[in-house]
Amino acid sequence: MNRLCTATLRFAFGVLALVAIWSKPLNAQETWHREQYMSENGLLQNRVHVMVRDRWGALLIGTEGGLVRFDGHHFKQLGIPSAEGMKPSRVLEIQPTTEGDFVVRDAGCRQFLYRQETLLSITGDAPTRQYASRFSGAIGTAALAVKVMDPDSAMPLKEEWPFVVRSVPLSEGRWCLRADNEVLVYQDTRLLRRIKVPMGRSAHIFMTGGHVFVLDSMGAFYRLVVDEGKVYPVVTRGLPAPEVRKGQLTWRLFWDTQGDRTTLVIGDRLYVLKAEADGSALNAKHIAVDLPEGQKVGDLIWLDGSDALAVGTDTKGLFIFRRQRMRSLLCEGISEGVNNAYNAQASFGEDEVITSTRRGSRLFGADGCTGEHAAIKGFNENAVLRDGQDRYWYGRGDTLFRFDRSTQQEKVLRVGIRPLCFLEEKGVVWVGAGNGVHQAVDSVITLTHPLAVGDLSARPTSLCRTPKGELWMASCIGVFRAVEQGGWEPVKGLERICARTLEVVDGNVFVGSYGGGAYMVRPDGHIYRLPQDEQGFLSHVHSFMPDEAGFLWMSTNQGLFRVKLTDLEAWTRDTTQRTFYAYYGKKAGINNAEFNGGCSPSYVRTRSGWASLPTMDGLVWFRPGTIPDAYPHQDIHLESVLVNGERQPNGSIRLPWGHRELVVTLSIAYWGDPENVRLEYAFGEQEDHWTSMPTGQRELRFTGLSQGDHRLRIRKVGAQARGDMDVVQLQIAVEAPFFRRPWFIVLCTLAAALLFLGAIRLNATRLRRRNIQLERKVADRTRELVEANADLRRSLEMKEMLVSIISHDIVTPLRFIARVASGASRRSLPESEKRLAESLADLANSSEKLYANAQGLLQWVKRQDGRIELRPRNVVVHLLVEEVLSREHERAVDNDIHLENRVPLDDIILTDRNVLSIVLHNAVANAVTHSGAGTVVVSGVLSGGAYRLVVKDSGLGMPEPVLRHAQRVQDQGALGAMGQEGERDIQGLGLLIIADLMQLLGGRMLVESQEGRGTSIILELPLDPESDQARQRS
């Protein structure tokens, strides 16, 4: 067992030794972010000859394919104008002029003036000529530049000019260039003097710091004093030993005439030269830019001060290098199971911080993980404190420790306390733990503000002392303030947020939360929720770090943000304005943009000014004071205005009515992270309402603008708080259509008035005519109404009389006779009285027949008066037919007529039985009356959606007049029974009853007859008496 323990210890020490050997800092030298742009990105051609900056800070690039403008985000191809339109042309030189324009010359020596993003032809129509010299640098005015670069112009000693001419502008309209061993000084086109200089390349002349310098072929620098005509040796510092090949210095010199900056390319290394004030020395600074391998640099120019560099190559296009002022520090060679995710840290010495992981503590300096053995063995990752006496407070497990660096002694302060956050003030250390907040004075620790044990959400994550002297605690259930009794009360307005950090800055308390954003509590107690960024990254804020330049840094799960404190102050006065947040991510040098929070402290500042913030992959270090303001300072440029695809002059524009589309294209030169260029615009009636444009958008489109005057304003987000007056304005006037112009409205008004007057007169005439017609119609209708009323009165009197006669004089006596005769026939009579009984029976039958006819006639009369109420029910048709035939049986026997019921036994229909019985009886009675000796057959059949009852006799058929009468009754009902003189056709009374009662039942009657073959009465009944068709028939 002891041998095993010994072997295990030896193995562990061996692993630690290897970790110590292989743990080394990452290279902390300055880094640059590189982006490449080629023809597929918008560059006209991948060979870059020359670059300058235009008045808005964008690059003008001369390529093998023509001229192009690049603002850091968008390429605009300018091309070379010709009679055939824009065409490719090799742009070799671009000379800036004192007027702010640029003289552009192509490979055919044709010259153009670039002004306001437009190429104006100077000698564009001249024939192609061979150039004798290539020009760089600057000369002076545009007119002078054109003369100097014209191969056919005459100037003193022009034949001695070298192939590569670098011109240097001097004072009072003078300029100079270098030949091999002399400098030629000109006044306009007049030669002033020739100054001897050491032998060297013609391009090795430049001006910096107000002094003109030349470089000889051996790498020595000289200062040229033009007025004296002398050169003086210059001391150089920071340059490597010169390298000479074939008698020529291999160094390449690039001079930025616009930025007074000179750069040397020596091999694959880059150096920037800076002159001392008196010009006696040049100091070189190495720039750690990895130039494109295997490429010749065509031109080189600095952008945005010294934080961006543009390099044009001969075949690989354009490279933009952006300085990364932040660095991610990692430990290499760490053991298995240990990563580079860090949380709490504390400053250690002057330029180091100490932090801890699972396997122990680590020391970091500006160059990364030092690999040195830390005196502190290790501690819990979430909290550590360096107090004012250079002592370190931390926890290891559930025990609170303190390490005294001066004595190198570690002391156990309290067992059972797992510190989660610390706060030091005036010799007192407050310790936040799971059971509450403890007060530590020297080694005496007291639980002053207890918490409910077991509620993990209530555990403190940060402590602060507010400007009002209150002790605040952040937790995941809100922000609380300590009360005198030792408890806690919630801070109103911050009760339910998951607070993770507290920071007091300039009298304000800043609160960072998980998911709820950031808050600022003003000294008056007013709480502001800070505005969000467009992506919503500021919903999780881990730390607030103020810097010496007046900015506030905020770490999040997706990057680092910086905002100016004065901008926040301005925002609290007008919360409708947007605040500019600068974003820093991978392009700034941060390997992993997910910062860690919920630790104490959430950031550290070293004594030498470094800031250190923990992430999921190393510590991010930077010097906040050296990072320039990321706010875009270049002016917004209104690049173009298109109406229906046609370019319009910038400024005030007039749009025709019915225009389809207005497109406004913008440009702003910016060489930092494109995420930090955010624009907003106000348009139309709500001029105080600014709409944010999506990141990267440089185009606005408007369609269907209403008539009238409009104003479009465009500015940068945060411009109002910064006092930035750069606001692009565009006045837009939309013409009214002809039908909305005053003259058209006046004409329309006059026309409407005339039409109105004419309409009034026409209407009066029409009304007069109409009144005459109405009077005539009223007279006619009145006469007709009087006649109709008279006819109706007579009809009603006749109907009432007929009803009265039938009811009293026919129905009642006949019913009485029938009853008496029927009673007498049922009495027992002797044989001699049988004949009398038979007679009485006949009388009874006849009376019943007469009664039935009278009853039918009465029903028909009631039908005419609308007093019959139908009671539909299921009727067995065969039984009803049998009942009707039985009534006519005796009369049929007497007339030698055979009655036959051919209706199927199971046929059932829904109808009024009484009304149908009257109809059938009239039909059968008519058949029996007119059949003679023969047969009467009643049959029934389903036909489509109706039921058909057919009463057919074998008589002689109807005569022609009677058939016509029957067809009139069939088609017209009661009206068909009236003759030409208006008298009733007696022969059609039965048919009249049948036709009208069938119409009442929702059916119809059909008559078919042929002389000599008999007659058929067809009764067609609906299966559904409530159907629309039945109602229509009724």
**pLDDT per position as a tens digit, 581-592:** 999 999 999 999
| Per-residue confidence (pLDDT) for residue 52, from 0 to 100 | 96
403 within some domain = no
8 A C-beta contact, residue 219 and residue 249: yes
| Cα Dmax for the chain | 185
**pLDDT band per the 50, 70, 90 thresholds, residue 521:** very high
pLDDT confidence of 82, banded at 50, 70, 90?
A: low
Residue position matching structure tokens 């002398």: 230
- Establish if 997 belongs to a structural domain: yes
pLDDT value of residue 983: 38
- pLDDT reported for residue 854: 64
% of the chain surpassing 90 pLDDT: 56
Asked if residue 279 has pLDDT above 80, the reply is yes
As given in the structure block, the two tokens for residue 526 are 């007013």
Query: Could you tell me which of 527, 442, 434 has the C-alpha nearest to residue 473?
Result: 434
Spell out the residues 6+ positions from residue 507 whose beta carbon is closer than 8 angstroms to its own: 467, 523
Whether residues 735 and 873 share a domain: the answer is no
Backbone angles phi, psi at 289, to 5 degrees: -100, 130
75-77 β-sheet, strand order: 48-53, 59-63, 66-70, 75-77
pLDDT over 70 at 980, yes or no = no
What's at 781, amino acid-wise?
Answer: R
Three-class SS of residue 815?
helix
Residue, of 831 and 164, whose pLDDT is higher = 164
What's the pLDDT at 440?
A: 95
Residues 736 and 878 in one domain: no
CATH at 994:
3.30.565.10
Q: With bands split at pLDDT 50, 70 and 90, how would you rate the model's confidence at 235? A: very high
Residue 1000 lies in a domain: yes
Phi-psi region of 389 (alpha: psi -120 to 50; beta: other; left: phi over 0): alpha
Q: What is the pLDDT of residue 981?
A: 41
pLDDT tops 70 at residue 2: no
**Residue 103 domain flag:** no
Say yes or no: 874 and 727 in one domain: no
Q: Compute the C-alpha angle 958/961/965, nearest 5°.
A: 90
Full residue range of the structural domain in which residue 962 is found: 869-1033
Reply yes or no on whether the pLDDT at 726 is more than 60: yes
- Quote the pTM value: 0.70
Final residue of a structural domain among 692, 720, 740: 740
pLDDT, tens digit, 9 for 90 and up, residues 337-371:
567 899 999 999 888 999 988 768 899 998 888 87
Residues 850 and 815: their CA atoms lie apart, in Å, by 9
Mean pLDDT of 815-844: 60
Looking at the structure, do residues 730 and 875 belong to the same domain, yes or no? no
- If you average pLDDT over every residue of the chain, what do you get? 85
**Rounded alpha-carbon distances, angstroms, from residue 719 to 243, 462, 511, 567:** 51, 34, 26, 10
- Bridge partners of 472, per DSSP, are 464, 481
Q: What is the pLDDT of residues 94-133, one digit of tens each?
A: 999 999 999 999 988 999 999 887 888 898 788 888 889 9
Q: How many domains does the chain have?
A: 2
Q: Averaged over 471-494, what is the pLDDT?
A: 93
Q: What is the pLDDT of residue 1027?
A: 63
pLDDT at 741: 73
Q: Mean pLDDT lowest for which of 437-451, 681-695, 872-886?
A: 681-695
Summarize the confidence of residues 250-265 as an average pLDDT.
92
Asked which of 3-12, 206-215, 410-419, 723-732 is least confident by mean pLDDT, the reply is 3-12
Kindly state the average pLDDT of the residues 1005-1029.
82
Q: Which of 835-839, 854-858, 1018-1022 has the highest mean pLDDT?
A: 1018-1022
CATH for 655: 2.60.40.10
Residue 849 predicted with pLDDT over 80: no
| 77-86, 292-301, 467-476: segment of lowest average pLDDT | 77-86
Domain boundary among 719, 740, 761: 740
Pairing type for strands 728-734 and 653-655 reads: parallel
Among the candidates 722, 740, 758, a domain finishes at 740
Residue 410: inside a domain: no
**5-19, 612-626, 641-655, 810-824: least confidently modelled range:** 5-19
pLDDT at 918 over 90: no
798 has a pLDDT exceeding 90: no
Q: Is the pLDDT of residue 18 over 70?
A: no
687-703 average pLDDT score: 89
953 lies in some domain: yes
Q: What are the E-state strand segments in 57-202?
A: 59-63, 66-70, 75-77, 91-96, 102-106, 111-115, 118-121, 134-137, 164-169, 174-178, 182-187, 190-196
Domain membership of residue 148 (yes or no) is no
* Mean of pLDDT values over 529-548: 95
* The pLDDT of residue 971: 76
| DSSP conformation class of 141 | S
Beta strand ranges found along 374-524 (DSSP E): 384-386, 391-396, 399-404, 409-415, 421-425, 428-433, 436-441, 444-450, 462-465, 471-475, 478-482, 488-490, 499-505, 508-513, 518-521
Using pLDDT thresholds of 50, 70 and 90, give the confidence band for residue 835: low
Alpha-helical regions (H) of 48-170? 142-149
Better-predicted residue by pLDDT, 28 or 24:
28
Is the pLDDT confidence value at 418 over 60? yes
For residues 137-173, b (16+ Cβ closer than 10 Å) or e, as one string?
bbbbebebbbebbbeeeebeebeebbeebbbbbbeee
DSSP helix/strand/coil, 271: strand
How many angstroms separate the first and last alpha carbons of the chain?
117
In a domain, 710, yes or no: yes
